[in-house]
Amino acid sequence: MAMTMTQKILAAHAGLDEVVAGQLIEAKLDVVMANDITGPMALPIFKQMADKVYDKDAVLLVPDHFTPNKDIKSAENSKAIREFSFEQGLTHHMEQGKCGVEHAILPEKGLVVAGECIIGADSHTCTYGALGAFSTGVGTTDIARGMATGESWFKVPSAIKFNLTGTLNPFVSGKDVILHIINMIGVDGALYRSMEFVGDGVAALTMDDRFTICNMAIEAGAKNGIFPVDEQTIEYLNEHTTKEWKAYEADEDAQYDEVYDINLNDIRPMVAFPHLPGNGHTIDQVEADEKIYIDQVVIGSCTNGRMSDLRKAAAILKGQTVHERVRVMVVPATPKIAIQCIKEGLAEIFIESGCAFNTPSCGPCMGGHMGVMAKGEKCVSSTNRNFVGRMGDTQSLIYLASPETAAASAIAGYIANPEKFGGNK
């Protein structure tokens, strides 16, 4: 039976020679992750099941959503997972100042690798498919069971193939690619299916591009997103990890529900209007209408807070001044990235241009802190969701875009074309 990449990984972890779409399986887990919102909810359930986690190396609790703690409740949540981590003797103890945004810190520390089966109590756990892993978000009960037993059940997903060709134009990145795709298929276009990205165009995408694309697979309703392991992946793994990994390739005759051919050359800078990631507009369409004036810009998150993202934003902001009616939060995804920003002079560029340069956190992305919006305000954000009330008041508006588009908009005071604001190509 021919299988996709995802199906092969699931079959291997279920101890089966083959699986088919729709089949219910019990699979062994390589990594089980939760954060300071979801982790505390899973702990009481876990304690009804077991006294000890199944593997001290494999269970990861990351404080990142409300860190630095914004109030007493968030402090209590962080305390709960901190104490559990010490009680259980978890190998990879995570703490503010020493970790960062979960979906950036796990790959950076080499804790997730190709061929693994990973669950996380956060919907954007699908990020790790960039490395050739099966990774998906689950609920707190499944996380508790995963921590206790090292196993979880899955319904094997069918798949959609995205055949990528060509290369990206200047000022176009992985964020534009995934916004283009979600606009094309809709926010439920890949519902409970695997989004598999293949083709010659994969080589034209950086690892950061791939992390961004897989991160937002859930915004199309997908169970997971996944890329094949190529030379770039291997280079990244060799640099970041000592864990053993395995590459899985889809069979040539694997079955796909749909196949989309996407020429990367044709993709333009994209902006997703409120209130859905699938409400996409090209920057040319935006420019053809009346200017959309903004109040806030956020550059960061598990989607676009990596080093290449911040370099691109800084290249546009260098020597410029943020518009007087706009406030900007720049949030590096990890301490390592923050340090690199300081070493390369990016932090100075951001601050001198009028941005707030913040500590690693999910904060503004989900309206937690460090950038909550008031009624009627508009924000251009490099984050992944623009639902009603996502970043503050229910009558605030979020426009999703790349770091370059966000930086250009910060200078202009309205949603602007990054091609007209220079920077590095």
Helix (H, G, I), strand (E, B) or coil at 405: helix
Element of type H or E holding 5: helix 5-14
64 by DSSP, 3-state: which? Answer: coil
**pLDDT digits 0-9 by tens, 124-163:** 999 999 999 999 999 999 999 999 999 999 999 999 999 9
Nearest to 209 by CA among 264, 249, 250: 264
Q: For residue 280, what are its two tokens?
A: 């996409």
Question: How many whole angstroms separate alpha carbon 182 and alpha carbon 174?
Answer: 12
What are the structural domain ranges in the chain? 5-264, 270-421
Helices (H), 279-399: 283-288, 301-304, 307-317, 335-343, 346-353
The CA–CA distances, whole Å, from 116 to 122, 207, 243, 263 equal 17, 17, 11, 30
According to the 3-state scheme, what is the secondary structure of 135-172? EEECCHHHHHHHHHHCEEEEECCCEEEEEEECCCCCCC
Task: Express the helix, strand and coil content of the chain in percent, nearest 5 each.
Answer: 40, 20, 45
* Tens digit of each residue's pLDDT, the chain (425 residues): 899 999 999 999 999 999 999 999 999 999 999 999 999 999 999 999 999 999 999 999 999 899 888 899 999 999 999 999 999 999 999 988 889 999 999 999 999 999 999 999 999 999 999 999 999 999 999 999 999 999 999 999 999 999 999 999 999 999 999 999 999 999 999 999 999 999 999 999 999 999 999 999 999 999 999 999 999 999 999 999 999 999 999 999 999 999 999 999 999 999 999 999 999 999 999 999 999 999 999 999 999 999 999 999 999 999 999 999 999 999 999 999 999 999 999 999 999 999 999 999 988 888 888 889 999 999 999 999 999 889 898 999 999 999 999 999 999 999 999 998 865 44
Reduce the DSSP state of residue 256 to 3 states and report it: coil
Burial of 319: CB neighbours in 10 Å, binned 0-12, 13-18, 19+? exposed
Would the pTM count as exceeding 0.85? Answer: yes
Helix (H, G, I), strand (E, B) or coil at 62: strand
Q: Edge-to-edge, what's the strand order for the sheet holding 134-137? A: 59-62, 31-35, 117-120, 134-137
Task: Please tell me the CATH superfamily of domain 270-421, with its number.
Answer: Aconitase, domain 3 (3.30.499.10)
Q: What kind and span of H or E run contains 378? A: strand 378-381
> If you write DSSP's letter for every residue of 193-221 in order, what string do you get?
-EEEEESGGGGGS-HHHHHHHHHTGGGGT
Q: Name residue 415's beta-bridge partners.
A: none
CA distance 108 to 68: 21
Its CATH architecture, for the domain 5-264, is 2-Layer Sandwich (3.30)
Q: What is the DSSP letter of 127?
A: G
Q: Is 129 helix (H, G, I), strand (E, B) or coil?
A: helix
What is residue 364's predicted lDDT score, i.e. its pLDDT?
A: 83
Please classify residue 393 by burial: count the beta carbons closer than 10 Å to its beta carbon, then call 0-12 exposed, 13-18 middle and 19+ buried: middle
Mapped onto helix, strand or coil, the DSSP state of residue 318 is coil
First to last CA, the chain: 45
Q: Do domains 5-264 and 270-421 have the same CATH topology?
A: yes
Other C-beta atoms lying within 10 Å of the C-beta of residue 376: 10
